[in-house]
A and B are shown apart, each in its own frame.
Chain A
Amino acid sequence: MSEMNKRIIEIDKVAKVYKMGTEKVFALREVSVDIHENEYVAIMGPSGSGKSTLMNILGCLDTPTAGRYAIGDADVSRMNDNQLAEIRNRKIGFVFQTFNLLPRASSLKNVELPLIYAGMSGSERQQKAQNALTKVGLGDRMTHKPNELSGGQRQRVAIARALVNDPSIILADEPTGNLDTKTGEEIMQLFADLWKTGNTIIIVTHEEEIARHAHRIIKIRDGLIESDLKNPEPIIV
C-alpha cells in the first residue's frame, strides 16, 4: 500500500442514531476513517457492533445522522435518494453474502444491470458485461441463470456485476459467508487479483480468517473504532 495514493473515502465523525419508539439507539457513535485508492481493507466486528451500519453508509445505502462522508469530491452525507442512487451506480460495486442476483435473468443480464441504470446503449453494455464475466472466469457461463450455477460461480457473477461499471470501491459484505472453505478461498483469490490490478476493496466480515487477507484491518465495537491497524502479513493465496 502506498501512502501517496489519492484519498477516495473520507469519513469524519460520522454517527448514526436510530429511534426505536422513544429510545435512541446509537448504531455508530463517532467514526472517522480515510481510505485511499488501491487499499485492501477489512472491516471486522461482532454482530451489533455497528459494522453493518458502517457498511451501509460506506455503500451509500444509508446516510449518517451526523458527520461528513465524502467519496472523492462528492459529499454524500447531504445527498437525496436519487443522488445516492447515482453515486452507488457510478462509484460502488457491491458484493453480497447472498449474492443478490436476479433469479430469472442470465449471468450476462445480471452483470448488465448497473450499466442499464447508467444509461449505456445495448451493444456497449453487452461488450462490457462480457469482458467483466471473462475477467472472473465465467466467459463460458454467460447465458446461464443463477439456479444453473454453483455458489462460487454465482458469487463470481456478482463480482463481475460489481466490477462492470469501473467503480471507485468494491464493497463486499461477508462474500464467503455462504460458500464452503475451498470455494471461499477461490473468491478471496479473485479479490486479491482485483486488488493487484488497481481496485480498491473493502471487505466486511466477522471471520478472522477472511479479514487476514486484507492489508488493513479496522475493528468496530459498540459503534466505535476499536483498532485500525496494518496487517503486516496478509495471507497470499
Chain B
Amino acid sequence: MKLSEISEAFKISLDAMLASKLRSFLASLGVLIGISFVIIMGWILDGLDGAMQDTFNIMGADVLYVDKYDWAGGQNWDKIRQRKNITIEQVNEFIDRVENAELIYPTARRWGASFAYKGESFSGFPILGTTFEQSLSPAGEIEIGRHFSQFEDIRGENVIVLGYNIYEKIFDSKNPVDNIVKLNGHKYRVIGVIKKQGNMLFDFIDNQVFIPMKSFLKTFGNFNRSISIGVKAGSVEKLDLVRDEVRGVMRSIRSLKPYEEDDFSINETKAFENQVASIRSVVWIVGIGLTAISFLVGIIGIMNVMFVSVVERTKEIGIRKALGAKRSSIAWQFIMESALLCFIGAILSFIFCSVIVYFAAVYLPELISEKLKFLSMMLPYNLLFWATLVSVIVGMLAGIIPAFRAAKLDPVDAMRSE
C-alpha cells in the first residue's frame, strides 16, 4: 500500500461523506448515542467520586466512629436495636483508657428538638452535643467567630456553633455572633459558624449545630440516649492499631465475655465507600448495557450505509480498478469511510455532551437541588479518547465486509453498471 493510495483513500472517503451529509449524519447517529452514553455515565461517576472523596476528607479517612448502630446496615436490625446504649459514663471511661488515638470526641445527637430564633422556629436538622476536641477535628474548622473553648465545655455553658447551611438559612449571611437562639426553651448564645464543607451529595455536615456535651445533656436529658464516639487515629497507618485498641477497651467497658460478640459497631468511612461502590456498579452495568446496544445498532447502521455506498459507486470502483487500483486500495477506501463515519459520530458526541454537561452543571443545581452542585463542567476526556478509539476500530470492522465486496468486483462488470 503506497502513501499516495492511503491519502487518496482518505480523500475519497471524506469526499463521499460530504457528498451525502444527511445520510452520513444519520449513519453516525448510533455511534454518537453510544459514545454519549459512556461519556455522560463517566461524567456522573466522576462527580459522585469527587463528592464522595470530599466527604471522606472532611470526616477523615483515619477516623473511627464507635456507635450503637452499624452504618453499613445489612446486619440483623432487631439485634442491633436491642444493643445497650453507649452512656456518657462509658464514654468518659473510654476517653480515659484509649491511649493510641490522636483525638477522641463523643457526639450525642438530637433530632426534632425545637430550635427558635426571634420567635421563628426551625426544624429538619439535628442538634449535636460534643466536646471541645471536636473543634480540633477537620469537621470543626471555624468560618465565623469561634468554637467553644475547653472551659465552656467543662462548665457546660449555653453556647452554640452553627453548621454553615443552618447559619445561611437562619441568619441570611449576617453576622450571627452573640445572637440568642432557643433550644427547647433554653437560651443559647451563638459564638461561631463552622466552615462550609459539604456542598455536594453528602451535605449533612453543614446541616447541624453543635453545643457542649454537658449543656446538651442538661437541655435534652441523659435518659435513653446513646452517644457516638469519634476516634481520630492520627494517620491511616495507625488505623489498625487504634481499631484494635478501641475494640478491646470498648469490650472491657461493656463487660463482654470472650465468647460474646461485640454489642457496638466500629464505623469507618469505608462503610460509605461500599455503598457508593454498589451505586457505581449499577450505573456502570446500565451504562455499559445501553452503550453496547446503541453501538450495535450504530454499527449495523453503518454497515448498511457502506453496502449502499458500494452499490452506488460500483462504476467508480470499476474505473479505479481498470486504472490500476489494487484490491487493497479499494478495500481501504471503504474501511476508511466507515471509520470516518464513526469518528464523525465521536466528534458530534463530544459537542453534544459538552453542551449537555455545561447546561447540566450550570442549571440543574438551580432548577432542582443545590445537592447537584457536585456535577462538574469537565468532560471525562480519557473516556472520550477510549470511546473514540474503540468506535473507530469497531467502525473499521463494520466496513470490512462491504469493503471486501467492493474490492472483489470485476472491473469490466463494475464499469458497465450505471
Residues of chain A at the chain B interface (Cβ within 8 Å): 56, 59, 61-62, 81-82, 85-86, 88-90, 94, 96, 100-102, 104, 113-122, 125, 161
Task: State whether B329 touches A61 (Cβ < 8 A).
Answer: no
In the complex, how many angstroms separate the beta carbon of A233 from the nearest chain B beta carbon? 34
Task: State whether B323 touches A89 (Cβ < 8 A).
Answer: yes
Task: State whether A82 touches B5 (Cβ < 8 A).
Answer: no
Q: How far is the CA of A210 from the CA of B280 in the complex (A)?
A: 79
In the complex, how many angstroms separate the beta carbon of A19 from the nearest chain B beta carbon? 15
Which of A81, A113, A115 contacts B320, CB < 8 Å?
A113
Task: State whether B323 touches A94 (Cβ < 8 A).
Answer: yes
Given known A104-B19, A122-B4, A125-B4, contact A117–B325 (CB-CB < 8 A): yes
Given known A100-B322, A102-B316, contact A121–B4 (CB-CB < 8 A): yes
Q: How far is the CA of A85 from the CA of B8 in the complex (A)?
A: 17
Q: Is B293 an interface residue (CB 8 A)?
A: no
Q: How far is the CA of A132 from the CA of B324 in the complex (A)?
A: 18
Task: State whether B4 touches A85 (Cβ < 8 A).
Answer: no
Task: State whether A161 touches B324 (Cβ < 8 A).
Answer: no
Q: How far is the CA of A96 from the CA of B415 in the complex (A)?
A: 10
Given known A116-B4, A116-B8, A119-B4, contact A161–B323 (CB-CB < 8 A): yes
Given known A104-B15, A116-B5, A119-B2, contact A85–B326 (CB-CB < 8 A): yes
Which of A61, A113, A118 contacts B411, CB < 8 Å?
A61
The interface size of chain B toward A, counting residues with CB under 8 Å, comes to 24
Q: How far is the CA of A56 from the CA of B414 in the complex (A)?
A: 13
Which of A86, A94, A96, A102 contacts B326, CB < 8 Å?
A86
| Chain A residues, CB < 8 A from B3 | 119
Task: State whether A85 touches B319 (Cβ < 8 A).
Answer: no
Q: How far is the CA of A113 from the CA of B411 in the complex (A)?
A: 15
Q: Is B321 an interface residue (CB 8 A)?
A: yes
Q: B interface, by DSSP: helix, strand, loop or mixed? A: helix
Task: State whether A85 touches B324 (Cβ < 8 A).
Answer: yes
Which of B5, B320, B412 contacts A56, CB < 8 Å?
B412
Task: State whether B319 touches A117 (Cβ < 8 A).
Answer: no
Residues of chain B at the chain A interface (Cβ within 8 Å): 2-5, 8, 15, 19, 315-316, 318-329, 411-412, 415
In the complex, how many angstroms separate the beta carbon of A126 from the nearest chain B beta carbon? 12
Task: State whether A100 touches B415 (Cβ < 8 A).
Answer: yes
Give 25 CB contacts A-B under 8 Å. A56-B412, A61-B322, A82-B328, A85-B324, A85-B327, A86-B324, A86-B326, A88-B323, A89-B324, A94-B322, A94-B323, A100-B415, A101-B319, A102-B316, A104-B15, A104-B19, A113-B319, A114-B323, A114-B324, A117-B320, A117-B326, A118-B324, A119-B3, A121-B4, A161-B323
List the 6 closest pairs (A to B, CB-CB), nearest first. A89-B324, A119-B2, A117-B324, A85-B326, A114-B323, A82-B326
Q: How far is the CA of A177 from the CA of B324 in the complex (A)?
A: 24
Extra contacts besides A82-B326, A96-B415 (6): CB < 8 Å: A62-B412, A89-B323, A90-B324, A100-B315, A115-B4, A120-B4
| Chain A residues, CB < 8 A from B320 | 113, 117
Closest residue of chain A to B418 (Cβ to Cβ) is A98
Given known A104-B15, A104-B19, A122-B4, contact A117–B412 (CB-CB < 8 A): no
Given known A116-B8, A119-B3, contact A85–B321 (CB-CB < 8 A): yes
Which of B19, B315, B316, B325 contacts A85, CB < 8 Å?
B325
Closest residue of chain B to A118 (Cβ to Cβ) is B324
Closest residue of chain A to B318 (Cβ to Cβ) is A100
In the complex, how many angstroms separate the beta carbon of B213 from the nearest chain A beta carbon? 83
Task: State whether A117 touches B411 (Cβ < 8 A).
Answer: no
| Chain A residues, CB < 8 A from B415 | 96, 100
| Chain A residues, CB < 8 A from B19 | 104
Task: State whether A81 touches B2 (Cβ < 8 A).
Answer: no
Task: State whether A82 touches B412 (Cβ < 8 A).
Answer: no
Closest residue of chain B to A81 (Cβ to Cβ) is B327
Given known A94-B322, A102-B319, contact A82–B327 (CB-CB < 8 A): yes
Q: How far is the CA of A81 from the CA of B327 in the complex (A)?
A: 8
Most chain A C-beta atoms within 10 Å of own C-beta, residue among B8, B19, B316, B411 = B411
Task: State whether B322 touches A117 (Cβ < 8 A).
Answer: no
In the complex, how many angstroms separate the beta carbon of B416 from the nearest chain A beta carbon? 9
Q: How far is the CA of A171 from the CA of B320 in the complex (A)?
A: 16
In the complex, how many angstroms separate the beta carbon of B153 from the nearest chain A beta carbon? 83
| Chain B residues, CB < 8 A from A104 | 15, 19
Closest residue of chain A to B324 (Cβ to Cβ) is A89
Q: How far is the CA of A96 from the CA of B412 in the complex (A)?
A: 11
| Chain A residues, CB < 8 A from B411 | 61
Closest residue of chain B to A83 (Cβ to Cβ) is B326
| Chain A residues, CB < 8 A from B325 | 85, 117
| Chain B residues, CB < 8 A from A120 | 4
Q: How far is the CA of A113 from the CA of B318 in the complex (A)?
A: 13
| Chain B residues, CB < 8 A from A119 | 2-5
Most chain B C-beta atoms within 10 Å of own C-beta, residue among A81, A85, A90, A102 = A85
In the complex, how many angstroms separate the beta carbon of B15 from the nearest chain A beta carbon? 7
Most chain A C-beta atoms within 10 Å of own C-beta, residue among B4, B316, B324, B325 = B324
Most chain B C-beta atoms within 10 Å of own C-beta, residue among A82, A94, A102 = A102
In the complex, how many angstroms separate the beta carbon of B14 from the nearest chain A beta carbon? 12
Most chain A C-beta atoms within 10 Å of own C-beta, residue among B321, B328, B329 = B321
| Chain B residues, CB < 8 A from A90 | 324
Closest residue of chain A to B322 (Cβ to Cβ) is A94
Which of B2, B8, B319, B326 contacts A100, CB < 8 Å?
B319
Closest residue of chain A to B323 (Cβ to Cβ) is A114
| Chain A residues, CB < 8 A from B412 | 56, 61-62
| Chain A residues, CB < 8 A from B326 | 81-82, 85-86, 117
